[in-house]
């Protein structure tokens, strides 16, 4: 069996099962099974596939056909320029969250001195750990309600050599009072409860706690808007990712007396997705 034939066969199978992006999914899974870079499969379609790799590929395809996210099968997801371990304990970090991390970095570059950041709803730890890697003086507090997510984030911190600068806290709310930080960055669960049942199987295999934001999806985000001013340094910021039509709504609930600067901004697809608020300097 050659790589080209294995790929053609696998993408047809995935397509027949209604899996999105059957071609790229098949490529990533075969590359992983063979232990070669994905692009090599495309440039060398005659590459022979050994029996052990074919078996591993077949097992992975079965999982993909059942609607498991690609990143869970591979066991990792690239986020900015770091590789994050992911599994059923955490949400798979999304491309728009890389934009959130970029906005957070832009804000941190405007701050002087030692930086302290809280990643609220840290999940795999992707956002906060990438920031900790970018800013060598940064101290990170990674908070999550899920003990399983905290365990995953701690494994990632260890693997990236960042554990010494990270504190992990399991909590269902932002604790106040507490040590003030420069930035609270959060990709909270923001899907309205009523929408969850209709989501794609890939999304439904992610932890419900990572998705469900309550009635209108803004439960955790609202709690952060209320409590964050009590945990931010002067001029500190809260930066959040939200779903479609939620950013403007939440912005309207942020009092100008507390949030000196506040704005919503769009992601690369043009969706108003990010909320930025900073407190009085």
Ligand X SMILES: C[S@@+](CC[C@H](N)C(=O)[O-])C[C@H]1O[C@@H](n2cnc3c(N)ncnc32)[C@H](O)[C@@H]1O
Nearer to ligand X, 65 or 212 (CB): 212
Listed residue (140, 95, 134) closest to 120, CA to CA = 140
Question: What is the rounded CA–CA span in Å between residue 197 and residue 191?
Answer: 11
Nearer to ligand X, 26 or 142 (CB): 142
- Exposure of 210 by Cβ count < 10 A (0-12 exposed, 13-18 middle, 19+ buried)? buried
* Shortest distance, position 232 Cβ to ligand X, whole Å: 17
Nearer to ligand X, 83 or 234 (CB): 83
- Interacting residues with ligand X between 92 and 121 (CB under 6 A): 93, 97, 121
Tokens of 179: 């040590």
* Shortest distance, position 174 Cβ to ligand X, whole Å: 8
Question: What is the rounded CA–CA span in Å between residue 28 and residue 14?
Answer: 13
Beta bridge partners of 227: none
* Shortest distance, position 75 Cβ to ligand X, whole Å: 16
Place of tokens 């908070």: 143
Nearer to ligand X, 27 or 98 (CB): 98
Nearer to ligand X, 187 or 278 (CB): 187
| Cα dist from 130 to 36, 82, 125, whole Å | 26, 7, 8
- The DSSP letter of residue 50 is -
Check residue 10 for interaction with ligand X (CB under 6 A): no
Question: What is the rounded CA–CA span in Å between residue 127 and residue 91?
Answer: 12
Binding mask 187-226 for ligand X (x = CB under 6 A): xxx-------------------xx---------x------
Check residue 123 for interaction with ligand X (CB under 6 A): yes
∠ CA 253-257-262 to the nearest 5 degrees? 55
Q: Sort strands 82-85 and 76-79 into parallel, antiparallel or unpaired.
A: antiparallel
Binding mask 159-188 for ligand X (x = CB under 6 A): -------------x--------------xx
Check residue 243 for interaction with ligand X (CB under 6 A): no
Check residue 145 for interaction with ligand X (CB under 6 A): yes
Check residue 26 for interaction with ligand X (CB under 6 A): no
* Shortest distance, position 247 Cβ to ligand X, whole Å: 15
Q: Which residue is nearest to ligand X (CB)?
A: 123
- For 264, phi then psi, to 5°, come to -110, 150
* Shortest distance, position 192 Cβ to ligand X, whole Å: 14
Region near ligand X per CB under 6 A, out of 61-69, 144-152, 195-203, 250-258: 144-152
| Contact between 156 and 123 (Cβ < 8 Å) | no
Check residue 127 for interaction with ligand X (CB under 6 A): yes
| Contact between 161 and 136 (Cβ < 8 Å) | no
Contact residues for ligand X, defined by CB under 6 A: 90-91, 93, 97, 121-124, 126-127, 143-146, 149, 172, 187-189, 209-210, 220
């Amino acid at each position: 069996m050659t790589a080209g034939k294995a790929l053609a066969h696998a993408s047809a199978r995935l397509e027949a099962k209604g899996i999105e992006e059957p071609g790229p999914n098949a490529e990533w899974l075969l590359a992983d099974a063979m232990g070669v870079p994905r692009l090599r499969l495309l440039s060398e379609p005659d590459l022979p596939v050994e029996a052990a790799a074919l078996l591993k590929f077949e097992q992975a395809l079965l999982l993909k056909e059942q609607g498991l996210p690609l990143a869970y099968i591979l066991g990792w997801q690239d986020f900015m320029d770091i590789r994050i371990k992911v599994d059923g304990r955490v949400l798979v970090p999304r491309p728009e969250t890389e934009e959130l991390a970029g906005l957070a970095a832009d804000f941190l570059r405007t701050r002087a001195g030692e930086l302290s950041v809280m990643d609220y709803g840290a999940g795999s730890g992707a956002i906060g750990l990438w920031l900790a890697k970018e800013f060598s003086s940064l101290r990170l507090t990674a908070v999550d309600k899920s003990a399983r997510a905290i365990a995953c984030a701690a494994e990632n911190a260890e693997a990236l050599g960042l554990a010494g600068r990270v504190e992990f806290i399991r909590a269902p709310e932002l604790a106040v009072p507490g040590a003030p930080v420069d930035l609270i960055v959060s990709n909270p669960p923001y899907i309205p409860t009523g929408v969850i049942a209709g989501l794609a199987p890939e999304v439904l295999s992610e932890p419900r706690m990572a998705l469900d934001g309550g009635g209108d999806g803004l439960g955790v985000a609202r709690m952060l808007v209320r409590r964050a001013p009590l945990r931010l340094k002067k001029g500190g910021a809260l930066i959040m990712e939200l779903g479609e039509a939620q950013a403007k709504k939440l912005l309207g609930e942020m009092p100008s007396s507390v949030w000196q600067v506040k704005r919503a901004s769009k992601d690369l697809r043009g969706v108003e997705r990010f909320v930025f608020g900073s407190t009085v300097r």
